[in-house]
A and B are shown apart, each in its own frame.
Chain A
Amino acid sequence: GENVEQHPSTLSVQEGDSAVIKCTYSDSASNYFPWYKQELGKGPQLIIDIRSNVGEKKDQRIAVTLNKTAKHFSLHITETQPEDSAVYFCAASLNNFNKFYFGSGTKLNVKP
């Protein structure tokens, strides 16, 4: 099955700085890559996603890049704010979207 690895496990940045989280996947058939934000005591919430026919996607301060050849994808958050502090998960899915393989998570701390 698919194996998704995520780095770093913790990330601490100053407010206003950028944050980058990286993931790799093993199954070249994976073609959908969502990113989730999970706050304490809550379920994961989708923040951005990308399909394998696209190299980059941006939504305001958040962007995701995908390198299919190298089988890695990254989340970029610019102008970080304290409310961005949470655990972020990457995931990969095959064609049918009915099973996601998640990374182990990155705890982002944005210091005011």
Chain B
Amino acid sequence: GAGVSQSPRYKVAKRGQDVALRCDPISGHVSLFWYQQALGQGPEFLTYFQNEAQLDKSGLPSDRFFAERPEGSVSTLKIQRTQQEDSAVYLCASSFDVGMMGGYTFGSGTRLTVV
């Protein structure tokens, strides 16, 4: 597609529910990234994929967070047993290749609200 597509755009979850957030990167983009953006803050790195391989998951806040990209295209970020502190916008970005300076394209994000 023309850009990075994320769904749903908005998600309200009751505390303790599991959620799954989807990212469709730009076709042919090798690298895919997930960031968490709390209200009024800058994005914070969660995890990075090169094709289907998850090369860096150092930013995942806890073992409740899990990301996958099984076929090297679409990625899903799953949050188990959601907590109020998980409320944030979750941004996905993709780039054509590793080291593509300036090649990051962000999606519009999924706003997660945990009540």
Contacts and interface: CB of A to CB of B under 8 A. Distances in A.
Interface of A: 4, 6, 32, 34, 36, 41-46, 49, 51, 89, 91, 96-105
Interface in B80-100: 91, 93, 95, 98-100
Contacts of B33: 98-99
Contacts of B109: 43
Contacts, number: 60
Contact of B31 (A32, A43, A98, A102): A98
Q: Report which residue of B43, B50, B55 has the largest number of chain A beta carbons within 10 angstroms of its beta carbon.
A: B43
Contact of A44 (B41, B43, B48): B43
Interface of B: 4, 31, 33, 40-45, 48, 50, 55-56, 59, 91, 93, 95, 98-102, 104, 106-109
Contacts of B102: 34, 46, 49
A97 B101 CA distance: 7
A42 B40 CA distance: 14
A49 B98 contact: no
Given A43-B108, A45-B106, A97 B98 contact: yes
Contacts of B101: 32, 49, 51, 97
A44 B40 contact: no
Given A42-B108, A43-B4, A43-B93, A102 B44 contact: yes
Contacts of A44: 43, 91, 106
A105 B31 contact: no
A34 B100 CA distance: 12
Top 4 A-B pairs, shortest CB-CB distance: A102-B42, A43-B106, A99-B45, A98-B48
A41 B99 contact: no
A42 to B, nearest CB: 5
B48 A104 contact: no
B112 to A, nearest CB: 15
Contacts of A45: 106
A100 B48 CA distance: 11
